[in-house]
Structure 1
Amino acid sequence: MKAVRVHAYQEPPRYESVPEPALQGPWDVIVDIGAAGLCRTDLHIIEGQWEPIQHPRLPYTLGHENAGWVREVGSAVTTVAPGDAVILHPLTSCGLCPPCRVGEDSHCENASFPGINADGGMAERMRTNARAIVPLGEGLEPRDVAALADAGLTAYHAVRKAAARLVPGTHAVVIGAGGLGHIGVQALTAITAARITVVDRSEEALALARKLGAHHTVLAGDDETTVREALDITGGGAHVAFDFVGEQGAELLAPRMIRGRGQHYVIGYGGEVRLPTIEIISREIDVIGNLVGTYQDLVELMALTADGRVRLHTQTYPLEAAGDAMADLAAGRIRGRGILIP
């Protein structure tokens, strides 16, 4: 079969032939990939940012946002059958460690992370396990939901954590309305009562945010002007700011856009959050990290998607054009999410 593989950092991945995956255990599931999402994390992997954290053995196949159809199941699997349409939770978790026991799949002590430290779904087929499988409801197609497996899940996870805080009369600021942020706006609209202000450098992205439910938008430019405008709109600062960019200076804006006792949710990454400790304690602000999401988060997100309350905006590419797709993503030419179709 064909796959997109990383052989060395700082080099473009290769589209090449590799052996097909096979069942190795009773809980394994082989999936025919219908679509694989393209994420900025894939660019960071190629840069080598994940090597100190995950230590993948090169070469391996990219792709951590995957959906498709079950091809083959292990002897213990009863929850899905060949032919079922499914989306895959990004991690294959064990179900036995303390984090798994309380439903925190993304912190499983024995997990593998296909596409990041093991072979992923930028391929015709991949192996996962039964705990990662979420069946798709009627009317949902793999190509329409694949990127929700990580981008959507991560955005929803952050909003879900903050939802209890975002009662009527509160304000949320969303920094970045691209592949992650446009899903975050929809999640905020679906499960919170907050007024939503979106900050982005792109007029096109802001126009999309307004269509998806944003109440206010700010065209980012000079930092001082951008912060002042956000503070004016929110009446002195957001109760929660969601940073879906996390680099190129965006990570420095969110702490300035929240009010006292506000919360800064870090979702995008690549930069550095810099805050004087006196500011943290005097304002009693929180900086909160977000890693993917739980299995239950993905189930809830699929329910919202089936109801038409969350929808991905995508640009599709054939699998063999993965290099072109990554170049478009790096250059900011993709609105929404890039999707690779084997």
Structure 2
Amino acid sequence: MRAVRLTAWGREPALSEVERPVPRDAEVLVRVEAAGLCHSDIHVIDGPEGALPYRPPFTLGHEVSGHVAALGPDADGPAVGERVVVYGPWGCGSCARCVAGQDNYCDRRRGLNWHGVGLGRDGGMAEYVLVPAGRHLVPIGDLPAHQAAPLSDAGLTSYHAVNGVRHALRDGTTAAVIGVGGLGHLAVQILRATTTSRVVAVDIREEALTLAQRSGAHAGTLMRTDTARALRARTGGVGVDAVLDFVGNTATLELAADVLRPGGEVAVVGSGGGQLTVRKPGFLPPGFRLSLPFWGTRPELAEVIALARSGALHVETEQFPLSAAPEAFDRLRQGRVAGRAVLLPA
């Protein structure tokens, strides 16, 4: 079968011919219908040797949807032919958190040489992907594959981040979404679908603010030197109740601190390498709370799929054949993907 593989650190991924996996024990073989691309893939590809615990070669792709093609003799879960999305953050499988469907916070994560499907383990940028157990599969029914695949990370990570701050978003509150790309445009939709908060979007690109508007944002503003003042003005001067930062560089973290009202929440999702100094006393608003959400839980993925099937979520996608993976990666690097890039192996 064909697969997009990272063969060594410092090399661009290559489309290769590899043996089709055969499921053993509790494993499940999934015929891939769609695989999303993510900036996390770029971080992996560009990572120097030793920066990550992964051991090349392995197939990329951690946003995966398809249908069950074959089952190992001890496998349970979805039946052959059932359409599924793959829950991506595979943990050790046996700690209390993994058993509860919280592999994203696996107690043994520090000792693993993978973070999940396509992240140290063979992923879904291929014609087939081998999944360790049926518990990692969530049925999607008739949801289109190019919609389902990005929901397993872009949708799930956004949903998990919103879950962490939802208690602060009652009637009359304001939430700010910084960075309206593959994750941010879904965060806007999730906020609109699951809270009564007013949603304001911030980005450096006009086209991203247009995407935010299509996604349901009440307002949007370009990131400039006066953005904090403008956002505060929109809240009557009190500041926003929660900030979801999908960029995570120093400028966006400082903006988050500048616009947050006392007792507010900041969830940093983006891995932009920024730093925010925490000290007391200091410039941060009193009662400030910071979270670093990572991916999401398996039950949350089922909730995300249900939202999408209800019509509340729609992923903006650009679709490419598997053979065009290099072009898709190049467009993603240059910031020229509207929403989420998705590879279609068929």
The question of a shared fold, defined as TM-score above 0.5 by the shorter chain, is answered with yes
Cα contact 2:278–2:284 (8 A) shared by 1:
no
Cα contact 2:37–2:340 (8 A) shared by 1:
yes
Cα contact 1:251–1:271 (8 A) shared by 2:
no
| TM-score, normalised via structure 2 length | 0.92
Q: CA deviation at 1:110?
A: 5.6
Matches of 2:181 and 2:205, distance apart in 1? 9
Matches of 2:181 and 2:291, distance apart in 1? 21
Q: CA deviation at 1:92?
A: 3.1
Matches of 1:215 and 1:306, distance apart in 2? 24
Letter in 1 for 2:199: I
Partner of 1:8: 8
Structure 1 residue 218 corresponds to structure 2 residue 217? no
Change (3 A) 1:103 1:82: closer
Q: CA deviation at 1:254?
A: 1.5
Cα contact 1:45–1:51 (8 A) shared by 2:
no
Change (3 A) 1:8 1:249: farther
Match of 2:83 among 82, 85, 88: 85
**Aligned 1:1-342 pairs, distance under 5 A:** 1-25=1-25, 27-48=26-47, 51-53=50-52, 55-93=53-91, 95-109=93-107, 112=114, 113-128=116-131, 129-137=133-141, 139-220=142-223, 222=224, 224-235=225-236, 236-247=238-249, 249-278=251-280, 279=282, 283-342=286-345
Query: More deviation in 196-205 or 106-115?
Result: 106-115
Q: For residues 7-33 of structure 1, give each alpha carbon's deviation from its aligned partner in whole angstroms, at most 9, with x where no partner exists.
A: 2333311111111112132x2110010
Matches of 1:86 and 1:185, distance apart in 2? 25
Q: CA deviation at 1:270?
A: 2.9
Matches of 1:142 and 1:49, distance apart in 2? 33
DSSP-derived class of the 2:3 partner = strand
Q: CA deviation at 1:248?
A: 6.9
Matches of 1:280 and 1:100, distance apart in 2? 38
DSSP-derived class of the 1:283 partner = coil
Change (3 A) 1:18 1:180: same
Q: CA deviation at 1:207?
A: 1.4
Q: Which blocks of at least 5 consecutive residues in structure 1 are unaligned?
A: none
Matches of 1:28 and 1:170, distance apart in 2? 46
| TM-score, normalised via structure 1 length | 0.93
Change (3 A) 1:197 1:281: closer
Change (3 A) 1:312 1:255: same
Q: CA deviation at 1:79?
A: 2.2
DSSP-derived class of the 1:3 partner = strand
Q: For residues 237-269 of structure 1, give each alpha carbon's deviation from its aligned partner in whole angstroms, at most 9, with x where no partner exists.
A: 111000011237333322222111111101111
Letter in 2 for 1:7: T
Q: CA deviation at 1:281?
A: 7.0
Cα contact 1:93–1:132 (8 A) shared by 2:
no
Q: For residues 147-197 of structure 1, give each alpha carbon's deviation from its aligned partner in whole angstroms, at most 9, with x where no partner exists.
A: 111111000111122212211011100001110100000000010111100
Change (3 A) 1:41 1:230: same
Q: For residues 213-233 of structure 1, give each alpha carbon's deviation from its aligned partner in whole angstroms, at most 9, with x where no partner exists.
A: 11111112x3x3112111211
Q: CA deviation at 1:106?
A: 1.1
Letter in 2 for 1:166: L
Query: More deviation in 8-17 or 126-135?
Result: 8-17
Q: For residues 55-102 of structure 1, give each alpha carbon's deviation from its aligned partner in whole angstroms, at most 9, with x where no partner exists.
A: 111111110000001001122333211111100000234553121244
What RMSD, in angstroms, separates the aligned Cα atoms of the two structures?
1.8
| Percent of paired sites with the same residue | 38
Letter in 2 for 1:44: H
Letter in 1 for 2:256: A
Letter in 1 for 2:73: S
DSSP-derived class of the 1:310 partner = coil
Letter in 2 for 1:239: D
